[in-house]
Structure formats: structure tokens, C-alpha cells
Structure 1
Amino acid sequence: MWSVFEYMSHNWSQIVDLTIEHFQLVGSAVAIAILIGVPIGIYLTTNKALAESVLQICSIIMTIPSIALFGLMIPILSIINQGIGFVPAFIALVLYSQLPIIRNTYVAISDVDPAIRDAAKGIGMTTWQRLMKVEIPNAFPVIMAGVRTAVVLSIGIGAIAAFIGAGGLGVLIDQGISRTNRDMVIAGAIGVSILSIFADTSLGFIQKRFTPKSA
């Protein structure tokens, strides 16, 4: 085990660079997933029939192995010369992030206490005002739980994306397997684990900081 830490100390700058690559891939993908998923989840609260279909589609996407999804996108994106690298990995992570974000947003907004909604209507709030000032603040903890799940999930899948040239900490795992270098594989796995813990802890702090005391 000491050899792993020795490898990490000798290759610290490379590991930091790969960690930054990994963070950029996951961060950008989840950010776009939030911009897509949260509005969809909110809209689905107004259309229960559509909600079931959308959540089923998202669930099906989640069951597709990441390597298979990457493989499916290679010929499609090759049309625009983006068959491997950042773009297919980015699209895959956005797709995989949709289920926890959409589902948690949908459930959280649907479960807001009707009495709170009625009180907001009673004081003359518009639908938009109720959403922004009442429903989202009360639903925020559950929505953030979905985001945290999506981030941790994406960090793990992002490591596999190194097999299609997307970079990140998965490069160490990929190269370690190719070279039968156990230290590289373990170093990559440790890096992914630490990044996951850091991201989840940071988002947990944000969740706690911005959750209304009444929620």
C-alpha cells in the first residue's frame, strides 16, 4: 500500500491536473442537467400523466451501461467529428443526471404542504411568486438531495469516460489496467473517491446553508 502513496507523491501534479479535468467535465454536465431537469420536474407537477412517462424514460436511460451509451454515441457524433473525447462524455453525464434531478424536483414540489400554497394564494401571490418564494424554498432540501446524487453518480461514470478519451482521473485507471500497474489503478480510484466525498460534503453544506428553517 505504501507504494501507492509513493506513486501519488511522485506524480502529484499529474493527479491534480486530471482531477481538475474530471471536475470540469462533471461540473459542466451537472450544471446543464440542473438547468434542464429542474424546470422539467417543476412542469411535470402540472401534468401527472406526462410525469410517469418522462420518469420511466429517465429510468430506462439509467439502466443503459455507460460503455454501451458511449459506444452508441460514437457513430452519431462522428458525423461532427466529436465521436470521442469530451462531447460524448458530457452528453452521457447530462442524460444520466436527469433521473435524480427530475424525480426529486417533481416529488419535492408535489409534496409542498397545500396549506402553504393556499396561504400564498390568500395574500395575492402570482403563480410565479408562489413558485419562487414558497414552493422552491420548501422543496430545496429534496431537490439538492437529487443534485448530490447526480454529482456523485457522474463522478463515478466520468471515470469510465476516460476510455473514450474524455480525460479525468479515469486516465490513471485506464492506463493502470493497460500497463498492469496496480498503483496507478488504486491512485485513480482514491482520487475519484476523494473528489466524490469533497463534492457531496460541499453540496451538503450549501443545502444546509440555504434551506429555510421552516422546511
Structure 2
Amino acid sequence: MSYFSFLLDASRWGGSGGIGQLLLQHLLYTVAAVAIGAVIAIPLGVLIGHTGRGGFLVIGLSNAARAIPSIGFLVLVVLLLGTGSGKVVLVLAVLALPAVLTATAAGVAGADADAVYAARALGMTGGQVVARIEWPLALPLVVSGLRSATLQVVATATVAAYAAGGGLGRLLISGQLNRDYSQMFAGAVLIAALAIVLDLLIGSLGRLLSRRVRRAPATPSAAPA
């Protein structure tokens, strides 16, 4: 038996429950969860990094994220709220949040101290310092946090098939039930490929942002009289 037989069978890609639909579902779970996590984590991380307050929250969330088993958390949510795609996205968003929050807070807090001091000396407000100095310098690290969160979500979304019945994890579950190892192999390959593609895309975005930051002056200068 060829392990590639299921993956290379064109008839497996179309229709309801086909590989194409499952791949799209997995991608949508990932994008939605990371987007929700970022919308919450980035503003909170900027606030923590800029003010220097609430660092305990970052440490606590990071430690909790490492301690909580993903599938256990998913089962708990399903038991409390029921099954469905929305519940799966909620779980994945919660798991994505710590990586983005930690990276954002660290990036803003680690902005060039001389540039921040010069900006304040020129009379910039706190919001202006964040927008013009701290945020641009923190962007590469923020993207790195998004990268880590995305990889974690892609991997964890595999178990979403237990709750929502969608995503590439369905190939692994069905393959195991039917003892169809080519189907399980197809699911594993596609999950790995999706993770690699998304990682490369976000990594390219990070390098682009880093180049733009290096071209921009880090320290503000006073306007000529």
C-alpha cells in the first residue's frame, strides 16, 4: 500500500468532507483564532510594555499556557458550552493569546531607551511615543509572537475535529477508525505543510517589517527653527 495513495487521489479533494474543504476549515480556524487573540493581546501588550505595569499578568498567562493541556481545555469547553466551530475557535484563540501578549509587551518594553527619552524630551505625549517610537521598534518581535501563536494553533486545531467535526484532524480520526494509514498520512502531511507555509509567510512579513524599521530613524530629531 502506498502512503501517498489517499493524498494523490483527485476524487478525495472535492465535495463535502473532501480534503479541500477540510484544509479550508483548518485554515479558517487558524486565521480566526490568531486574529481574535491578536486583537485582544496586542493592545494589552502595548499597554503593559509602555507603562511597565502588569508584568505579572504576562508571566502568569505564559506559565498557564504551558501548563494547560490543549485537548483537556478543549474537552472542558465542549462539556460546558457544547460542540461547534465557534467553541473551537474560542479555545484556539485563548491558546494563541499568551504568545502574542508576551512578544508585544517585551517588544514595546525593549524599545530603544535613548529614542524614547529623546521623544519625551521633545514633548511627545505617551500615545505619540507608542505610535512613533515603541510600536515600530516592537513590530518584528510582535510578528515573531504571531508566528509562534500560528504554529501552535495549526497544531492544536488538529484536535478540533473531536468537537466540530472539521479540519484536517478529521483525516487522522477517520483514518485511525478505518485503519486507513494512507488517510492518516495525508492528514499529517497536510497539517505539516500548512504550518510550514504559514510560518514562511509570517516570517517574510517579519523580515519586511524589520527592514522598514532599520531604514527609519530610531531617534526623533527636533524640527528646525
TM-score normalised according to structure 1 size: 0.90
Q: Which residue of 1 aligns with 2:70?
A: 66
Identity %: 26
| Closer, same or farther: CA 54–138 of 1 in aligned 2, 3 Å | closer
Task: Give 1 or 2 for the bigger CA radius of gyration.
Answer: 2
| Closer, same or farther: CA 35–86 of 1 in aligned 2, 3 Å | same
Q: Does 1:176 align with 2:180?
A: no
Q: Which residue of 2 aligns with 1:43?
A: 47
CA shift at 1:58, angstroms?
A: 4.0
Q: Which residue of 1 aligns with 2:89?
A: 90
CA shift at 1:192, angstroms?
A: 0.4
CA deviation map 1:143-175 (0-9, x unaligned) = 111100000000000011111124111110111
How does 1:144-183 map onto structure 2 within 5 Å? 144-183=143-182
Give 1:89's aligned amino acid.
V
CA distance in 1 between counterparts of 2:66 and 2:85 reads 20
CA distance in 2 between counterparts of 1:166 and 1:41 reads 34
Aligned length: 208
Give 2:13's aligned amino acid.
W
Q: Which residue of 2 aligns with 1:80?
A: none
How does 1:1-215 map onto structure 2 within 5 Å? 3-10=2-9, 11-13=12-14, 14-45=18-49, 46-48=51-53, 50-77=54-81, 83-211=82-210, 212-213=213-214
CA deviation map 1:189-210 (0-9, x unaligned) = 1000000000010011111112
Moved more, 24-33 or 67-76: 67-76
Q: SS of the counterpart of 1:3?
A: coil
Moved more, 2-11 or 95-104: 2-11
CA contact (8 A) 1:100 1:150 kept: yes
CA distance in 1 between counterparts of 2:182 and 2:35 reads 33
CA distance in 1 between counterparts of 2:129 and 2:156 reads 37
Moved more, 62-71 or 147-156: 62-71
Please provide the CA RMSD for this pair: 1.7
Structure 1 residue runs without a partner (length 5+): 78-82
Structure 2 residue runs without a partner (length 5+): 219-225
